[in-house]
Structure 1
């Protein structure tokens, strides 16, 4: 079997992907390793056989991953750099604190550049650091075998410290931090959701069911459609009228007459409230109409930075009438649809209502989400090429040659291309599903390649540092999180659910936000998470070459 894998390394790659993601699915309480760490563990084991992947494949896989990462995060990154400064400050705390802890451990434990970078990647649970740090190691003035050994130690140190960093941030955000703040997290999250408003239209939950029901006009007779809808804060819409044998799609100025039958569409609680002013409910003969759900990427500059409530209040009546926001997606996470939820450029809004009304509102907000079966490979090719060229640039600072490398260059290129695409409809179509495939496969293939080469040195590193390396991983996760908790609570006065979500985001930890949402009982922590996640997802990978350069000159 070993000889077969060495002869056909592509078999070893897919074996590592399959069994690695199988291991990554195992969950113990809120802790789950995930496919990347699982793939690395399997690759380290298979690496004992001597299997290797072509370095060119490793480079291409990482370039695609890091460009897709930057592209999908670009709109949110630039939207949050200035406006989300309070949350963004926590990402800076993360970068400074984790760098200080890692460099202190480097001196005390005499870590080499590879182990130091692996500690950073694992403790911060940021897999992209492995790629940027590996590139930085390849540029050191060392023999090829020394470079390969250091790159292997990045992967090994990451695999050792990742689990401890992950457990630390999950338990800290969902369990320990609320105790330190003396806060009932579930009660605080419920109170925050209540103060923000439970829905954009006044219903009973963050994402209530929208309904259509027909009633006789009753007391509404004599009022205009606009007046009737205004009485109910536009949480319901008179979608159709049945008058005798005629079916009418009324405008705002249409007068409701005695004997009319009204088809109301809106949030359940609002429709129930409106029913108390109407006649009896009737069978909707000749009134039923199709309602659609459509997703649009928010690009309207006037809407970005506004709350959901602002959007409803400021939008022209003909634009907002009969349209409801069902969901908000930001960086792949659902943001609660609350009146005070702030919208950002690049948010994906799911609109619900009659097709013409949804199309009208969607066109005013941005553009429909791109088709899921088409990728602009011209943009993708030029974007990665531009990133590689940017990464080749460098400068000497204090005797240290500083360069972003292909990884850092592709990350910046992806950020710019993603931001530009969010501002210009039709440019660089890169569906979310396509980007996710590139991120998942690119990173997993890169990690597998690194794990294969690191295999022979894995156990030596474990024997050399013993318990001290995992302990350093715990401290490198705990100290930045604790500092952010103090600064966010005492100085920035952030609401507890938002603050804890931001702490999970500053470490780019999806398991942490999942555990936090479960502990909170609602999705309010996601609001803070998406801001710091977008910023840390850029800053932490760029920190990889910095740690390599500093550790190399210290040891």
Structure 2
């Protein structure tokens, strides 16, 4: 008969299963939410790991490093295009703002650490938790191990500080930016008005115009009988589509049955009264045309043709910076609908005055030849695939760690100074992500694979941290004390509140954009969601992407800097 002792021994002998147990239970707990509060996946995994760690399970060090490096590379790969895009002239104000906010984050943590007398491990934990940047745990650990005077430092308090301060770091940031932020800027109604003003200045919301396909505005392909007298003298396909365009509707003729024969169409092909035509467009516009074109017909043979849905990565120089309004008027977009535009993993509001960026992912819908033509002019098609370029990922990780962790190392006395292997892998990810948007022949990593490397890589790393420090977690909490939660709240709040006023008065951003920029610089997606919900607008997302790319990079690197400052 099995006993509790037998179970403990089993997990001690099979440490990998303990890690999977921790990740599974942590992900499950992380889904639970009370009103707007949730522990989140990462904190849940850490706390479960602490409980599992009471069984005193030893996990080999390379396992933790392997998953951590995989996570860092994925982070850099995902934000690489936007990171380098921000360095262009029109993106520099948001880059500068993100740098200022990140410096404030570093300064607030350093100040709190000095006041409280924290050591380097505790300061790193405070940086990771209060700024919700879990990767700091790994980067700081690598740095501490490279410093001769810190090799014997007790690291068990680092995850303790992280766990306690992460809760307010997440929930507090969402409250500060989503609830307090609009009040600091003059009130919710004033900031809502600022969002509407920016929308007006950017032009019409083309996501509400033909050619865009949010979920509530499905693109359809429907067949009609051309009964209207307008067709009697004979009209070309181009005349029909231009007539639609004058009415503000992007409707295209996709197929035709003429004299009993089904034919593919060309712009010069003639349409006559009585012909049966298939048109494509947004659902409500196509339905509206039934009274004008003629009666809708059911013809399975006529509408039985393949339509391509393709994800396209913007990479061509002439496409980057193109105005959305001009894009829709381009000849190469004829017959092509845009379903969505995603930037750095965030669906952005699409205005006529908005512009494309390198690395944007656009989902196109239309006939294969039309979609392929548009894809070639915008960048390259990136169809769903199960394959990842492990050559790109593997060499990127190796070269990044080699260059920044070994070759580019300087010394002050006996102390080696470098970005460490971890920082090098992050930089390598940035470069590889940017190169992928420019040169598709390098191969790529599908979004699901990036998600796996990012989320599983981070949470396995955190699980191992929790399991390894579990036996000393309670003792570590006793050392840092209950005041830790308040210290974390201060370290979280100071940069965000300062950032709100800096964005408004120094950078003179639109108020709604300021809140989005603050969310991005602090890499807190939860806060962005809270802001958008309060303002009932997606405008703040326009300030999120570039600042997120910069913040995600600098806050991780601060894991090195905070150790050097305190240690």
TM-score when scaled to structure 2? 0.89
Question: Does the alignment pair 1:320 with 2:333?
Answer: yes
Rate the CA distance shift 1:219–1:155 in 2: closer, same or farther, 3 A.
farther
Q: Contact 2:64–2:461 (CA<8 Å) still a contact in 1?
A: yes
Q: Counterpart of 2:358 in 1: which secondary structure? A: coil
Q: 290, 298, 302: which one pairs with 1:287?
A: 302
SS of the aligned residue for 1:306 comes to: coil
Give 5+ residue unaligned stretches, structure 2: 1-6
The aligned residue for residue 377 of structure 2 is: 364
1:201 Cα deviation (Å)?
A: 6.8
> What is the aligned counterpart of 1:45 among 43, 51, 61?
51
Q: Quote how far apart the aligned CAs of 1:326 are.
A: 0.3
For 1:265, the equivalent position in structure 2 comes to 280
- Assess, with a 3 A threshold, how the Cα gap between structure 1 residues 143 and 304 changes in structure 2: closer, same or farther: closer
Corresponding position of 1:179: 183
Structure 1 243/159 Cα, relative in aligned 2: closer, same or farther at 3 Å?
same
What is the rounded CA distance, in whole Å, between the counterparts of 1:473 and 1:398 in structure 2? 33
Distance 1:28 1:187 in 2: 31
Query: What is the correspondence of 1:285-364 to structure 2 with a 5 Å cutoff?
Result: 286-288=301-303, 289-313=305-329, 315=330, 317=331, 319-364=332-377
Taking a change above 3 Å as real, the CA distance of residues 292 and 111 of structure 1, as seen in their structure-2 partners, is: same
Q: Is the 8 A contact 2:213 2:339 kept in 1?
A: no
By how many angstroms is 1:31 displaced? 2.5
- Report the CA distance shift for 1:203/1:492 in structure 2 as closer, same or farther (over 3 A): farther
Instruction: Name the SS for the 1:32 alignment partner.
Output: coil
Q: Tell me the CA shift for residue 275 of structure 1.
A: 4.8
Moved more, 351-360 or 371-380: 371-380
Aligned equivalent of 2:260, options 238, 245, 248: 245
Structure 2 residue matching 1:346: 3-state secondary structure: coil
CA deviations 1:162-208 (Å, max 9, x no partner) are: 00111111111221112222123667656655664232572598722
Matches within 5 A, 1:100-119: 100-119=107-126
What are the superposed Cα offsets for residues 368-388 of structure 1, whole Å, 9 maximum, x if unpaired?
A: 225532122222221111022
Q: CA deviation at 1:90?
A: 2.7
CA RMSD of aligned residues (A): 2.5
Matched, 1:218 2:222: no
Change (3 A) 1:200 1:228: farther
Q: Deviations over 1:498-533 (max 9, x none)?
A: 332222221112222333344444533322222211
CA positional deviation for 1:131: 1.2
Say whether the 8 Å CA contact 2:95–2:546 is kept in structure 1: yes
Gaps of 5+ in 1: none
Q: Where does residue 388 of structure 2 map in the other structure?
A: 375
Deviations 1:287-323 (A, max 9, x none): 314333111222121111223212123x3x2x21110
Q: Distance in 1 between matches of 2:276 and 2:11?
A: 73
Aligned 8 A contact 2:213 2:282 in 1? no
CA distance in 2, matches of 1:492, 1:548: 31
Distance 1:169 1:502 in 2: 13
SS of aligned partner of 1:31: coil
Instruction: Say yes or no: does 1:80 pair with 2:86.
Output: yes
Q: Is the 8 A contact 2:80 2:434 kept in 1?
A: yes
Residue 485 of structure 2 corresponds to: 470
**Which SS does the other structure have where 2:443 is aligned?**
coil
Query: 2:4 matched to which residue of 1?
Result: none
Identify the residue that residue 10 of structure 1 maps to in structure 2: 16
Verify the 8 A CA contact 2:213 2:219 in the aligned structure 1: no
Secondary structure at the counterpart of residue 29 of structure 1 = coil
Name the counterpart of 2:270. Answer: 255
Q: Residue 119 of structure 1 contacts residue 157 of structure 1 at CA under 8 Å; is this kept in 2?
A: yes
Q: CA 1:97–1:398 in 2, change beyond 3 Å: closer, same or farther? A: farther
SS in 2 for 1:295: strand
Whole-angstrom distance in 1 between the partners of 2:372 and 2:365: 10
How far residue 120 of structure 1 moved from its aligned partner, in angstroms, is 0.8
TM-score normalised according to structure 1 size: 0.91
1:394-405 superposed matches below 5 A: 394-396=409-411, 401-405=416-420
Verify the 8 A CA contact 1:372 1:433 in the aligned structure 2. no
Q: Identify if the C-alpha distance between structure 1 residues 206 and 326 changes in structure 2 by more than 3 Å, giving closer, same or farther.
A: closer
2:165 equivalent among 136, 149, 161: 161
Deviation at 1:81, TM superposition (A): 2.7
The 1-side partners of 2:157 and 2:212 are apart by 49
Counting matched residue pairs gives 546
What SS does structure 2 have at the residue aligned with 1:248?
strand
Q: Cα distance, 1:327 vs. partner?
A: 0.9
CA distance in 2 between counterparts of 1:86 and 1:143 reads 38
Mapped partners of 2:511, 2:297: distance in 1: 47
* Residues 406 and 268 (structure 1), Cα distance of their counterparts in 2 relative to 1, 3 Å cut: same
Q: CA deviation at 1:219?
A: 4.8
Q: Provide the secondary structure at the position in 2 that maps to 1:430.
A: coil
